[in-house]
Amino acid sequence: MKIATFNINGIKARHQALVDWLKEAEPDVALLQEIKSVDEAFPRELFEELGYQVETHGQKSFNGVAILSKLPLEDVTRGLPGDDSDEQARWIEATVVGVRAVRLCGLYLPNGNPVEFDDTGAPLEGGKYAYKLNWMARMKARAEELLATEEPVVMAGDYNIIPQDEDAAKPEAWRGDALALPQSRAAFREILNLGFTEAFRARVQGPGHYSFWDYQAGAWQKNNGIRIDHLLLSPRAADLMREVGIDKEIRGRDKPSDHVPVWIELDA
């Protein structure tokens, strides 16, 4: 079972690029972020023609996540538990049924910028960075629930987290950014330490591996990138992992997203 995560940065602008990549890479499941579309406007026919079942959790102009699957999907749920007042479309879950059933979570973790702190040094209540950390606390709680099922679980998406300095071409440029602050990295490690495996780093070590390049200042041409798109695997899912990769080359194509797909293959 090949599972990919891909922040497409707008389905309207990049549906053809997405279709082309799907035809080429042939993932069984693609977890999408930043579709920037309400559910009714998502061009599902384009993907159904390729044999994908389409499930979306959309939002007008912002955010939005989706699952495209060639395999049956069951028990689809939308929204991260823990805050009924949160209207941002950033989380979708489903069980994909292959040789084995795997619980999938597609996520678009908040960016968190601008970073604002109060006089005590705590994230400013109501600010974007406080929302990011609170969202991650809710994600940790959900991850604990999922681990308790003892099923294979994959939590994949745009985490907006640079886990370590080696995950940025210029780590010094990100010191004060919400993606690399110590509190952000600590919250990410807390989720990993529950028992999850970060798929890419389980197989590939060292610097120079990125999944995002800004559109400005020739970042792609200079390979000035960061690695913020991750797949976290529960122990049972990690035992099934065969391969992992980043489809870096599509960043150089016509009308690309600022992200590229990251994928794993499971024995499932």
Tens place of pLDDT per residue across the chain (268 aa): 999 999 999 999 999 999 999 999 999 999 999 999 999 999 999 999 999 999 999 999 999 999 999 999 999 999 999 999 999 999 999 999 999 999 999 999 999 999 988 888 888 989 999 999 999 999 999 999 999 999 999 999 999 999 999 999 999 999 999 999 999 999 999 999 999 999 999 999 999 999 999 999 999 999 999 999 999 999 999 999 999 999 999 999 989 999 999 999 999 9
Using CA atoms, how far apart are residues 264 and 203, in angstroms rounded to an integer?
11
Give the per-residue pLDDT at 267: 96
Give the per-residue pLDDT at 67: 98
Reduced to 3 states (helix: H, G, I; strand: E, B; else coil), residue 186 is helix
Using CA atoms, how far apart are residues 149 and 129, in angstroms rounded to an integer?
31
The active-site residue out of 108, 129, 131, 159 is 108
Q: Is 206 exposed, middle or buried (0-12, 13-18, 19+ CB in 10 A)?
A: exposed
Using CA atoms, how far apart are residues 66 and 69, in angstroms rounded to an integer?
10
* Single-letter residue type at 213: W
Residue 210 annotated among the catalytic residues of the structure = no
Using CA atoms, how far apart are residues 89 and 107, in angstroms rounded to an integer?
9
Give the per-residue pLDDT at 259: 98
Residue 254 annotated among the catalytic residues of the structure = no
The active-site residue out of 28, 129, 158, 229 is 158
